[in-house]
């Protein structure tokens, strides 16, 4: 006898679906992620419903019972969607699917519940709860998905060669679920992912990046990235990252594996922040190390300038991956460019001038930059890590003290360009920029205070050096 889970289907939406099933004489089932997450005791706001009939018609009837007016109908795919309070509901008629080699868009035809479950990506997503009156809440599990849930295993309902060849995006989803749930991927599925890695090219980058971002936002994204790397998928979609992998040795000197290091930094950031773009900054902070790697007989391996070259690479990578090219990209670029600065302060003397310059450049992102830089302190030498982190705390305290004293964050010069033009009778010219920059440098170096009075005095001094005299009133 099938297990019954009617107790998890007490919400009004399920009662409305059950009533609709009875009235229309159409069997219906809750399938996929909602069922999986119920059994894992995870929250889920997305509910997928399979109807052995017309999905849009069924959806309209349910919406009417719930007094929902806005129902989105997608006739091409035979699906319907609406929102009810905090829940997202999607309805589709049970169907069979057949694929062509050149496309992940299937040809569909009406099918049974079994047909619909067979087309699912993994057994844990092929689970279903019945919404029929006679069997309300009964679990339908034709592929032993419950056993796979208990074992923490990702298996495909059909031969994985078929599952992944039909829809290559499922390979990205495998890595994503492994990262999100902490599951392992069954050996045949892993083999099929490697065998069909080139098929990922038929999937749009927009769809790929959705899955990649979900991996990055998971609790342990390194698991997903390692799977993508080992199966060859990462090389297909993000070769700049795979270029970080590997260790080279010359004259007994080896550098660290920068791929492993990047994932370690990413994991460290994840412990402190859920900010997607800070996590992207962790991924890209050393992205230019392969391009800047040099061996010096005295110094060993060097990566001089990788922070600046990496910052220049960010826009190109974002464009290729269909990531936003707005302030989010600018933020990541800034993080990559500045990620060595706090660490340099840890290694050297922490002067007020250096602190002021860092605050001026980082602006309101200084705290996120410090999170990234603290995450970047990785070593197998625990004593070295502890020493670095202790020094890092000193830098953080110094940042607070200087900020409180000098108000450098989001620096705005006390004297504007308009004021300079008015005092000296100037039209817009390069000299105005020279004077403004000189005032800023004087403040950052601690030569003058960040006040109107000191800035004006410096303005007159700099103008005199340029041979510019004030207007005589």
Range of the domain at 430: 417-465
**What's the predicted TM-score (pTM) here?**
0.82
> What average pLDDT does this structure show over 241-252?
88
Helical packing angle, 366-375 and 327-338, nearest 10°: 50
Residue 321 burial by Cβ neighbours in a 10 Å radius (0-12, 13-18, 19+): middle
Has residue 44 been placed in a domain? yes
Higher pLDDT pick, 79 / 318: 318
Has residue 13 been placed in a domain? yes
Has residue 65 been placed in a domain? yes
pLDDT at 108: 64
Q: Give the mean pLDDT of the chain.
A: 88
- pLDDT one-digit tens code per residue, 152-202: 999 999 999 989 988 999 999 999 999 999 999 999 999 999 999 999 999
Has residue 446 been placed in a domain? yes
Domain end, chosen from 151, 173, 201, is at 151
- Domain with residue 125: its CATH number is 3.30.460.10
Has residue 440 been placed in a domain? yes
> What average pLDDT does this structure show over 93-103?
68
For residue 258, name the pLDDT band (cuts at 50, 70, 90): very high
Report whether pLDDT(8) > 80.
yes
Span of 32-36, 311-315, 377-381, 452-456 with lowest mean pLDDT: 377-381
Has residue 442 been placed in a domain? yes
For residue 151, name the pLDDT band (cuts at 50, 70, 90): very high
Domain end, chosen from 120, 151, 182, is at 151
- pLDDT one-digit tens code per residue, 316-345: 999 999 999 999 999 999 999 999 888 777
> What average pLDDT does this structure show over 206-213?
97
pLDDT at 102: 61
Report whether pLDDT(466) > 70.
yes
Has residue 196 been placed in a domain? no
Report whether pLDDT(1) > 70.
no
Higher pLDDT pick, 381 / 40: 40
- For residue 439, CA distances in Å to 356, 357, 404, 468, 469 come to 14, 13, 20, 16, 17
Has residue 23 been placed in a domain? yes
Cα gap 157→142, rounded to integer Å: 9
Two tokens, residue 205: 């980058």
pLDDT at 405: 60
Beta-bridged to residue 74, according to DSSP, are: 79
Report whether pLDDT(38) > 80.
yes
Domain end, chosen from 118, 151, 184, is at 151
How many domains, the chain?
2
pLDDT at 207: 96
> What average pLDDT does this structure show over 357-367?
83
Whether 38 and 7 have beta carbons less than 8 Å apart is answered as: no
Report whether pLDDT(32) > 80.
yes
Residue 127 burial by Cβ neighbours in a 10 Å radius (0-12, 13-18, 19+): buried
Residue 446: φ, ψ to 5°? 80, 15
Report whether pLDDT(407) > 70.
no
């Amino acid at each position: 006898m099938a297990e019954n889970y009617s107790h998890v289907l007490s919400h009004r939406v399920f009662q409305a679906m059950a009533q609709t099933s009875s009235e229309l004489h159409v069997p219906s089932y809750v399938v996929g992620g909602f069922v999986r997450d119920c059994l894992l005791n995870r929250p889920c706001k997305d509910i997928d419903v399979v109807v052995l009939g017309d999905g849009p018609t069924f959806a309209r009837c349910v919406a009417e019972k719930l007094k929902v007016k806005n129902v989105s109908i997608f006739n091409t795919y035979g699906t319907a969607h609406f929102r009810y309070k905090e829940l997202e509901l999607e309805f589709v008629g049970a169907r069979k699917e057949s694929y062509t080699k050149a496309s992940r868009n299937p040809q569909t035809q009406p099918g049974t519940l079994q047909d619909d479950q067979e087309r699912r990506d993994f057994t844990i997503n092929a689970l279903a709860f019945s919404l029929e009156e006679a069997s309300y809440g009964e679990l339908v599990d034709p592929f032993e998905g419950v056993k796979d849930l208990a074992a923490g295993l990702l298996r495909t309902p059909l031969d994985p060669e078929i599952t992944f060849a039909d829809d290559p995006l499922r390979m990205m989803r495998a890595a994503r679920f492994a990262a999100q749930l902490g599951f392992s991927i069954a050996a045949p599925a892993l083999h099929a992912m490697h065998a069909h890695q080139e098929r990922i090219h038929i999937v749009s980058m927009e769809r790929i990046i959705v899955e990649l971002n979900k991996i990055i936002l998971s609790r342990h994204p390194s698991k997903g990235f390692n799977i993508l790397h080992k199966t060859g998928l990462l090389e297909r979609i993000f070769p700049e990252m795979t270029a970080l992998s590997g260790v080279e040795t010359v004259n007994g000197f080896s550098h660290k594996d920068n791929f492993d290091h990047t994932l370690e930094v990413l994991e460290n950031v994840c412990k402190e922040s859920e900010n997607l773009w800070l996590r992207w900054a962790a991924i890209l902070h050393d992205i230019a190390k392969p391009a800047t790697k040099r061996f010096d007989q005295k110094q060993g391996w060097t990566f001089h300038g990788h922070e600046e070259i990496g910052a220049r690479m960010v826009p190109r990578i974002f464009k290729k991956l269909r990531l936003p090219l707005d302030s989010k990209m600018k933020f990541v670029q800034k993080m990559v460019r500045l990620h060595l600065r706090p660490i340099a302060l840890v290694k050297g003397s922490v002067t007020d001038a250096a602190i002021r310059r860092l605050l001026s450049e980082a602006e309101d992102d200084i705290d996120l930059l410090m999170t990234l830089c603290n995450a970047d302190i990785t070593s197998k030498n625990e004593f070295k890590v502890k020493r670095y982190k202790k020094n890092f705390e000193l830098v953080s305290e110094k940042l607070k003290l200087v900020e409180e004293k000098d108000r450098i964050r989001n620096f705005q010069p006390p004297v504007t360009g308009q004021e300079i033009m008015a005092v000296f009778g100037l039209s817009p010219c390069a000299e105005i920029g020279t004077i403004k920059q000189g005032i800023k440098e004087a403040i950052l170096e601690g030569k003058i205070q960040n006040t109107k009075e000191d800035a004006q005095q410096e303005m007159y001094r700099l103008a005199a050096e340029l041979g510019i005299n004030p207007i005589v009133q």
